[in-house]
Structure 1
Amino acid sequence: MSPSVLLLILAIAILFALERTFPLRRQKQPLGRRIVVNAVVAALAIAAALMIVRPVASWLLEAVSQNRWGLTGIVQMPVPLQGVATFLLLDLSFYYWHRANHGWPFLWRFHNVHHVDPDLDISTSVRFHFLEIAFSAAFRALQVVVIGGELWMFVIYESAFQLNTLFQHSNIRLPITIERWIVLIFVTPRMHGIHHSKRFHDVNSNWSSVFSWWDRLHGTLNLNVPQAAIDIGVPGYSEPRDNRILQLLLMPLRPQRSYWSAEWKLPYPVPRDAGNVLPE
């Protein structure tokens, strides 16, 4: 087992223990059933990643390294600076990819499977439709060709990406004074929890993957929402049957329901207590 896999397993164990001990939001469904559903969906996604993403990425990375393709290969710069540039460009491009998954109806059909989870915790971080992973493979191939870089640069970014994906989806209540500092740089559980809200305005915000400043730069940062006011999920897919394994796998292939009714596009019906939320 590779060190990166061991690191992810250790991170999952630690974050799971922390979110059980210091929960941020009250869970609506029994944990056991959700873990089974999310684990099965995740297993298919991981299989798709191993069969599609890894072989394609490995082949392209070797070709890019040998031929100096991509922006960081064309522009001459010291290796450390090239590593930093590669990391930042990968993270920025994932911001746009995440927006595309919400903005393009075809991609949203598949990404919706991730969002209809009625609770948000570390198990949600691996709950993606396997066809979304296949589409992501094409995007990652484009990243490699356009951005360029060495293999170790992609390994470092991928490790940071996976670890922060686990962290931001976790249901951990960090001390608010600490999280207010962390969110200045990184995506945090409170910030990403807002993105998983049923509110139309909230789900269309906070698209960053690792660094939170991409949302700041694009005007899509949304922090002033009390966690107690957040209802996780997608309004049009809130029935218990919507979170059955077979339904989730077939959901993108079926005619889509209306995702948000008018009431979910309205402002919050409760006051926003500035003492319990992150600062804008």
Structure 2
Amino acid sequence: MKDSLLWGVVIAVFALALFVLERLFPLRRRKRPLAGRLLVNLSFAAVAFVTVALTVRPAADMTLGWASQGGFGLARLPFMSPVIQPLMAFLLMDLTFYWWHRANHRIALLWRFHNVHHIDPDLDVSTAFRFHFGELAFSSAFRVFQIALIGPSLWVCLLYETVFQAGTLFHHSNLCLPLQAERLLVCGIVTPQMHGIHHSQVPQETNSNYAAGFSFWDRLHRTLDLNVPQDAIDIGVAGYAQKKDNHLGAALLLPFRRKRDYWSKSDGSVPSRDGARAQKTRLAS
């Protein structure tokens, strides 16, 4: 219990530090007042905490106990040395999260819920807490499959969870890092600029940069896009860009209502990146 509390405090302090830093060194200009967004996103966080406590965590713990006792999992294959097994488990955890994130964009039912995360009109560390309880409930089923398939040890699972949560806060933040630091970091991990492109209203940009931890999964799957400057990105989902869409009640009910055309603006146009794209960015260079 004390360990869980300490873990929560560390994550909360890290989130608060990012919140302060992104105010001092913003990457993108804000479109909407901060107070209203914070109220909505922190409300989602409260509901998410309860959902995770009731579904995701018990499902993960139960499966982890079963996998540990049975010695089952891809990371526990007999020919793997004890040194390789933890590394393989950690990498497989991150790879399967890449696939899960991609599934949330490709499968219509999952996207209905994941869309709630994407319609936030600004992207900052508070967006990292904005996940619909329905999406988190689905993720409990994914966790069961993931842990049963991989068979990570308890300490590897806890380590990955810590790194994953810290990485999620970091790459959702609106923190502007020096360009050289971004270029260096993005070779290995997901950065604020890389994930900012994923939250663009341009469909082909939203459907890129799915990685949660290591950026090389996007390189391997050819879904990496670094050639978009942050000042050219309009955060959100075009079909749900009205202010009323981001009221708490509307956002909670969104997955259960008749869907709109996600990618079309109110005037019927679809956001796209014009020919000036080649002159933009230089993250990939």
- Aligned-partner SS, 1:180: helix
Residue number in structure 2 paired with 1:75: 78
State the partner residue of 2:273.
Answer: 267
In structure 2, the residue matched to 1:135 is: 138
Secondary structure at the aligned position of 1:197 is classed as: coil
Residue 120 of structure 1 aligns with which residue?
123
Conservation of the 8 A alpha-carbon contact between 1:226 and 1:272:
no
1:49-128 pair list within 5 angstroms: 49-128=52-131
**Compared CA separation, residues 193 and 58, structure 1 to 2 (3 A):** same
TM-fit CA distance, 1:278:
0.7
- Measure how far apart 1:269 and its partner are: 5.9
CA distance 1:211–1:53, shift in 2 (3 Å): same
In structure 2, distance between residues paired with 1:211 and 1:174: 18
Matched position secondary structure for 1:123: helix
- 2:207 equivalent to 1:226: no
* Of 243, 266, 282, the match for 1:277: 282
Shift of 1:99: 0.6
**Structure 2 equivalent of residue 4 of structure 1:** 7
| Alpha-carbon contact 1:226-1:273 (below 8 Å) kept | no
With the length of structure 1 as denominator, give the TM-score of the two structures.
Answer: 0.96
2:36 paired residue among 33, 36, 60: 33
Q: Deviations over 1:72-116 (max 9, x none)?
A: 123343333111100100100111111100000110000000000
Q: Distance in 2 between matches of 1:179 and 1:134?
A: 34
Counterpart amino acid of residue 93 in structure 1 = T
Task: Kindly state the Cα deviation for residue 33 of structure 1 after the two structures are TM-superposed.
Answer: 0.9
- Provide the aligned length of Structure 1 versus Structure 2: 279
Q: Distance in 2 between matches of 1:68 and 1:115?
A: 38
Q: Which runs of 5+ in 1 are unaligned?
A: none
Deviation, structure 1 residue 272: 4.4
Deviates more, 1:188-197 or 1:44-53: 44-53
- How far apart, CA to CA, are the structure 2 residues paired with 1:204 and 1:190? 15
Letter in 2 for 1:114: H
1:27–1:265 CA distance, 2 compared to 1 (3 A): closer
Q: CA deviation at 1:4?
A: 1.6
Q: What does the per-residue CA deviation read over 1:187-218, in whole Å, with 9 as the maximum and x for residues that have no partner?
A: 00000000000001100000000000000011
Question: Offset at 1:265?
Answer: 5.3
* C-alpha distance in structure 2 between counterparts of 1:66 and 1:257, whole Å: 47
Match of 1:150, as an amino acid?
S
RMSD: 1.4
Alignment check: 8 A CA contact 2:121 2:241 kept: yes
Aligned partners of 1:185, 1:204: CA distance in 2, in Å? 20
Q: What is the Cα deviation at residue 148 of structure 1?
A: 0.5
Q: Kindly tell me: are residues 215 and 228 of structure 1, through their superposed partners in 2, closer, same or farther at Cα, counting changes over 3 Å? A: same
- CA shift, 1:271, in A, is 4.4
Q: Give the TM-score, by structure 2 length.
A: 0.94
The Cα offsets for residues 208-258 of structure 1, whole Å up to 9 and x where unpaired, read as 000000000111100000111000000000110000011011000011000
* Matching residue of 2:194: 191
Residue 268 (structure 1) shift: 2.8
Q: Check the 8 A contact 1:98/1:207 in 2, yes or no.
A: yes
Summarize the alignment of residues 238-257 of structure 1 with structure 2, pairs less than 5 Å apart: 238-257=241-260
**2:123 partner SS:** coil
- Taking the aligned partners of 2:230 and 2:97, their CA distance within structure 1 comes to 25
1:6 is displaced (CA, Å) by 1.8
| Mean CA deviation greater in 71-80 or 135-144 | 71-80
